[in-house]
Amino acid sequence: MELSEITRIVLTTLGGAMLITLFGLVFGLIYKGIDRKIAAHMQGRIGPPLKQPFLDVRKLFVKENIVPENAVDWVFNLAPLIGLVSCITILLYLPIGGFPAIMDGVMYGKGDLILILYLLIIPSLAMVIGGFSSGSPYATVGAQREMATMIAYEFPLAIIIISLAWRLSLVADVTNVFSLATISSVPLWGLIGPIGFIGLVILLFTLFLVTPAELSKIPFDSPEAETEIADGLMVEYSGRNLAMFYLTDGVKTVVMGTLIIALFFPYNLSPILGLTSYSAMAADIMFYLVKLFLVILFSVTLIRVSVARLKIDQVVYTYWVPLTLLGLVGLICLMWDQTIMTQFNIPPIIELLGLG
């Protein structure tokens, strides 16, 4: 590869990374404002203005950054930065608005979904380390709860990923089954029959219930329970450190929504409307933002408004028993569907409905 080509790739990657970073920060705060506004209306309140998250971040960045006397200073200050950077890094591996992932050309689409699963652990791990390093007993309890929650929801999440990858492995000419580029180019809805459709819906429902725990939202926010342990992990954080954790939450919301879209709804609007060039790009981006809003609405807002906070033992039980079994049922449905379609020569459900 020539030096000029390497330079072009580096500059393109850096420019794309900067745009994706700006996108994640801005739209993470926008969707946090929308989430708070809708939740308030559902509870009969007016709620804060949509720009409130931006005002909160600006206020936190100008306030004094207080470090507890008994804290491990460098760990306490480094944890929020690690959490934010790891969330932004995940965005670089996700296809957004009809565009391929920024790092897709660098990784060549090999195993990026496994990498994303590992990277998703880092923000939560940063919160745990920050909580332990603060020296607060409330933060210590919150950190212990966060570790238990992480261990609990990773199991059903892994089952979902393995189920989708296994079904893709049965498709001819598909090799990189853990590549998001592959998953986006071969939507599973066009491959499955009636039983497989039920299985995919079950897996999607399970992922919707995993998302609140990934984001520490009600009913799975026991690590930060304000009324029990005074905000737990975040009790000692203030100023710019708290602002970075606030931004991390916003970016991670976009990450989880985009991941769900990439796995289950990787469709673009421009092919349907027959658009090309810039009009196609605009249509696909707007369609992506609408999908992202709907995913956040159903996986975060409606759940946290409808269900009260669970105790930590209830959180662990929910993920280890009902949701793990639900994920396995979805996997079994996909396996049965493949067997039945092969034996009885049943076409995919899209063709049965006349949509193919």
Please report the DSSP string for 164-184 in residue order: HHHHHHTSTT---TT-HHHHH
pLDDT of residue 2: 61
| Among the listed residues 331, 73, 88, 81, the one whose alpha carbon sits nearest the alpha carbon of residue 206 | 331
| pLDDT(323) > 80 | yes
With contact defined as beta carbons under 8 Å apart, do 326 and 202 qualify? yes
With contact defined as beta carbons under 8 Å apart, do 79 and 127 qualify? yes
pLDDT of residue 106: 56
Question: Among 106-115, 131-140, 179-188, which stretch is predicted with the lowest mean pLDDT?
Answer: 106-115
| pLDDT(344) > 90 | no
Is 61 among the domain residues?
yes
Is 12 among the domain residues?
no
Average pLDDT over residues 329-339: 89
| pLDDT(355) > 60 | no
What is the model's pTM?
Answer: 0.90
Is 9 among the domain residues?
no
Domain that holds residue 281: 55-352
Backbone angles phi and psi of 99, in degrees to 5: -95, 145
Give the 3-state secondary structure of residue 228. Answer: helix
With contact defined as beta carbons under 8 Å apart, do 176 and 182 qualify? yes
| pLDDT(112) > 80 | no
pLDDT of residue 329: 94
* pLDDT range class, residue 25, cuts 50, 70, 90: very high
Residues 226-262 have pLDDT tens digits of 766 766 777 888 889 889 999 999 999 999 999 999 9
* pLDDT range class, residue 73, cuts 50, 70, 90: confident
- Number of structural domains in the chain: 1
| Among the listed residues 134, 127, 97, the one whose alpha carbon sits nearest the alpha carbon of residue 280 | 97
Is 47 among the domain residues?
no
Average pLDDT over residues 175-203: 85
Is 86 among the domain residues?
yes
pLDDT of residue 24: 92
Cis peptide before 137 (omega within 30 of 0): no
User: Which has the higher per-residue pLDDT, 272 or 355?
Assistant: 272
Longest dimension (CA), the chain: 70
| pLDDT(212) > 60 | yes
pLDDT of residue 258: 93
Is 40 among the domain residues?
no
Secondary structure letter of residue 96 according to DSSP: B
Is 28 among the domain residues?
no
Secondary structure letter of residue 99 according to DSSP: B
Is 185 among the domain residues?
yes
| pLDDT(178) > 60 | yes
| pLDDT(105) > 90 | no
In the chain, what percentage of residues exceed pLDDT 90?
A: 29
Residue found by looking up tokens 């449905």 in the block? 333
| pLDDT(206) > 90 | yes
Report CA torsion sign: 71, 75, 77, 81.
negative
* Residues 6 or more apart in contact with residue 241 via CB below 8 angstroms: 65, 76, 77, 79, 80
User: Which has the higher per-residue pLDDT, 135 or 105?
Assistant: 135
